[in-house]
Structure formats: C-alpha cells, structure tokens
A = this chain, B = another copy of it.
Amino acid sequence: MADLLDRGTAQEYASWFRALADPTRVQIVEYLARRDRPLPVAEIVAAVGLAQSTVSQHLKVLTEARFVLVEPVGTARHYRINARCVACFPSAADVVMGRPAPNRSMGCS
C-alpha cells in the first residue's frame, strides 16, 4: 500500500495539466467553454491578440490534449470545447488531490 500513483496515469494527468500550463491556452479554453459553440480561428486570434501562427500552435496543443475539437466548415475550421473533458478533467484534479476517482477515466474521446 501507499505506493505511488501509476506512472502511466501520472503521465496522462501531467499531459493534461501541461496543456493548460500556459495562460494563453487557459484563456482560449475558458473562452471556448463559455461561448460553447464552434468558433473560427480568426475570432480566437482577435480575442487573444497574438500572431495567427502562435494561436494555431496553441490550438494544436489543445486539440492533441483533447480539450478542444475541430470541424471543417468550408474553407475555415471551427474549434469548440470538448464537452467530455468539461466533465472529466476536473476529476483529474480530484484524483491528484487524493479524492476518490470519480468513476470516469481520463480517456476522453
């Protein structure tokens, strides 16, 4: 008993936290969560006030972490929050803080 959290799980959790380890990405995720509808990149670029390439990089990180989903719309690409992650990411915080794991694994689709 009392040994460490499984390394794989720790790595998975850490990758989630790392995706939010940048203030700009925190702003983007919170923005997408609050708007709760697919938004084109241009609008996000305007909101955060950074270069388009920079925002695109951040969106790539968030997409790979499954925080964000993307759908092509004509020539554009619309990003939106991943509703599953809204539900299961805070549970990761609980696990790390020693609370019983609330059921759902972090394997969000």
The answer to whether B93 and A97 have CB atoms under 8 Å apart is no
- A1-44: CB near B (< 8 Å → 1, else 0) gives 01111010011011001101111111101110111100000000
Contact of A27 among B7, B23, B48 (CB under 8 A): B7
Give the interface SS of chain A, mostly helix, strand, loop or mixed.
Answer: helix
Chain B residue numbers with a CB within 8 Å of A93 are 89-90, 92-93
Count of chain copies: 2
Which B residue's beta carbon lies closest to that of A22? Answer: B14
Contact of A20 among B13, B36, B86 (CB under 8 A): B13
The answer to whether B97 and A90 have CB atoms under 8 Å apart is yes
The answer to whether A33 and B97 have CB atoms under 8 Å apart is yes
Q: 7 interchain pairs (CB within 8 A)?
A: A4-B48, A5-B27, A14-B22, A33-B96, A86-B98, A90-B93, A90-B97
Residues of A within 8 A of B (CB): 2-5, 7, 10-11, 13-14, 17-18, 20-27, 29-31, 33-36, 47-48, 81, 85-86, 89-90, 92-99
Query: Which 5 residue pairs of A and B lie closest in terms of their CB atoms, listed nearest first?
Result: A33-B98, A18-B21, A90-B93, A10-B23, A17-B20
